[in-house]
Amino acid sequence: MTVLVVLSGVAASTTSAEDYGVAQTYIHSFSNNVSVYTGVFALNKDVSLETTTYFRYTVDFVNPSFSLFGEGGEGGEGGDREADSAKARAVAAVSSASAAAGTGASDVRNELMAGFTHQFGNAFGLEMYYDYSKESDYTSNTPIVTLKKDLFEKNTTLTLSFSENFDQVYGQFMSATEPRNTSNYYFGITQLLSPVDFFRIGYSGSRMSGFTSEGTRLVPISPATAADCTEVVPGSCVTENFPDFRLRNAYLINVNHYFEGGWMDRSSVQLGYRYYQDSWSIRSNTEEVEYYKYLGPQLLLGLNYRFYNQSQAYFVKDVYTASDTYYSASPQLEKFSSQLAGIMLSYTIPRMFSFATDGAIEGRYEYYTQTINTTGQTIMLGLRFRF
Amino acid sequence: MKIGRSTILIIFTLLAVGAGCAPVKPWQREHLADPIMQPDYRKEEKAVREHTISTREGSSGIFGVSGGGCGCN
């Protein structure tokens, strides 16, 4: 599964506005008996006037035995899926089987990302990163290259990016490792509108080929039901099978505004909209808003809200027969909508560390809910230091 | 990736609009440079959020880093 992050700065600068480091801990807990504990350490540092380096390490510990929603189960999806037993999502049976086989749903994912940005005078800026991620059933290698060009007294910035995912998938129900390659393209324009406004538009395209499913779910073939599907039985209980090719397109627009004066003085709002469509017939809309306000010289408040809705992939069905070519038990390919809301507080302490200008203690809480009966909560605690 | 003529027209129109906008001088960019105005502000948190959400939603965000899930199947 591809993770996407925009790597572009505002208008003129291709390097971060500050040198900083962060150390964060996240606890994600979902209603389907999945919990993930995440640790992040990142460092952003100028090494010269033209060059900035960046390093980030992320580790995910998947611990399905713990859940904020009550007793943990065997892990993976399960819980209140009894009403869906007639459907293709044989997830409860899969979870039990995987636990009985000793594989379980526990896992550890490690990710390393490192790179640099360099400004070649007034000509253009170059960003190069490499990202490596590994867990028990998935390995990913991704080089990323970005070019930026400032125009019109640096009021306009053109961004062109390319990355390639070289992934290896080896889910628990797969007999061999399968490759998956994804080419990603991005083009964006950032435009300053005033001393307190700018907007950004962008297009992202993606071409995925190879093994596009995960190899971790089983699908019952009628007349078998989800309850019957505990192991691979040819013609009766099969692994997911998706099309081996997927084209994706996304279009976004963002507007950022800084407020001066009044009760909203020293605050900003970031509005974003993204439209997505792909060759599997999934269409989605994402609307996001972030609001940040300095409550004092040391206290920063952040609020965020996200609404998302999508259609389902064309090959998703409630019941599959032997005549079907593609099989899915993945909830993320169904039709649903979701909402996410969060709050963040950051408290700055001058000279918190001897090696830093100042440091900040930060906390964030987010609540996530889907219309297909999944909810989740995230708590983050972290330290941020500037130097 | 095919770029249609209408897309190219839109891009050049936006560039022309950008050229025609009253330019923001460097000494006027104090607020634009504020961290709370940066698109990549708190990008570590956004990366974690996008990764967690992308394993539960069928559409990817914008632009690519590594694959992999979080064992959240």
Superfamily the domain A20-386 falls into: monomeric porin ompg (2.40.160.40)
CB-closest option in A62, A206, A370 to B56: A370
Please name the amino acid found at residue A308.
Y
**Residue A105 half-sphere exposure, CB side, CA atoms within 13 Å?**
30
Inter-chain residue contact A113 with B71, CB threshold 8 Å: no
Find, in chain B, the residue whose alpha carbon is nearest to that of A334: B58
Chain B: give the shortest CA distance to residue A94, in Å: 10
A-chain CB neighbours of B66 within 8 Å are 2-3, 111, 113, 131-133, 140-142, 165
pLDDT score recorded for residue A96: 31
Inter-chain residue contact B68 with A370, CB threshold 8 Å: no
pLDDT digits (tens, 9 = 90+) for A357-378: 889 999 999 999 999 988 999 9
Residue A223: cis peptide before it, omega within 30 degrees of 0? yes
**What's the whole-model pTM score?**
0.85
State how far the Cα of A352 lies from the Cα of A382, in Å rounded to an integer: 14
Give yes or no for residue A86 having a pLDDT over 50.
no
pLDDT score recorded for residue A355: 82
Answer for the pair A144, A127: CB distance below 8 angstroms, yes or no: yes
- Determine the length of chain A: 387
pLDDT score recorded for residue B9: 62
A-chain CB neighbours of B70 within 8 Å are 28, 36, 38, 60, 62, 107, 109, 135
B-chain CB neighbours of A144 within 8 Å are 64-65
pLDDT score recorded for residue B3: 56
pLDDT score recorded for residue B37: 93
pLDDT score recorded for residue A214: 85
Inter-chain residue contact A1 with B67, CB threshold 8 Å: yes
Which residues are CB-neighbours of A15 under 8 A, at least 6 positions away?
A: A9, A46, A50, A51, A52, A117, A119, A125
pLDDT score recorded for residue A97: 31
- The answer for B 5-64 residues in CB contact with A (under 8 A) is 7, 11, 14-15, 17-19, 21-26, 28-64
Q: What is the CA radius of gyration of chain B?
A: 18
Q: Pick the more confident residue, A188 or B15.
A: A188
Inter-chain residue contact B64 with A16, CB threshold 8 Å: no
State how far the Cα of A367 lies from the Cα of A382, in Å rounded to an integer: 18
Q: Pick the more confident residue, A321 or B8.
A: A321
Find, in chain B, the residue whose alpha carbon is nearest to that of A187: B63
ipTM: 0.84
B-chain CB neighbours of A199 within 8 Å are none
B-chain CB neighbours of A135 within 8 Å are 68-71
CB-closest option in B26, B38, B71 to A17: B38
Q: Pick the more confident residue, A15 or A227.
A: A227
Average the pLDDT over B60-69 and give the result.
49
Q: Pick the more confident residue, A65 or B12.
A: B12
A-chain CB neighbours of B59 within 8 Å are 248, 250, 276, 278, 282, 284, 286, 310
pLDDT score recorded for residue B11: 65
Answer for the pair A195, A207: CB distance below 8 angstroms, yes or no: no
Mean pLDDT (chain A, rounded): 85
pLDDT digits (tens, 9 = 90+) for A120-173: 988 899 999 999 999 988 999 999 999 999 999 999 999 999 999 999 999 888
State how far the Cα of A164 lies from the Cα of A184, in Å rounded to an integer: 6
**Which band of pLDDT confidence, cut at 50, 70 and 90, is reported for residue A335?**
very high
Average the pLDDT over B57-65 and give the result.
64
Domain ranges of chain B: 29-57
pLDDT score recorded for residue A76: 44
Give yes or no for residue A78 having a pLDDT over 60.
no
Q: Pick the more confident residue, A254 or A101.
A: A254
Give yes or no for residue A9 having a pLDDT over 80.
no
Q: Pick the more confident residue, A50 or B4.
A: A50
CB-closest option in B36, B52, B62 to A4: B62
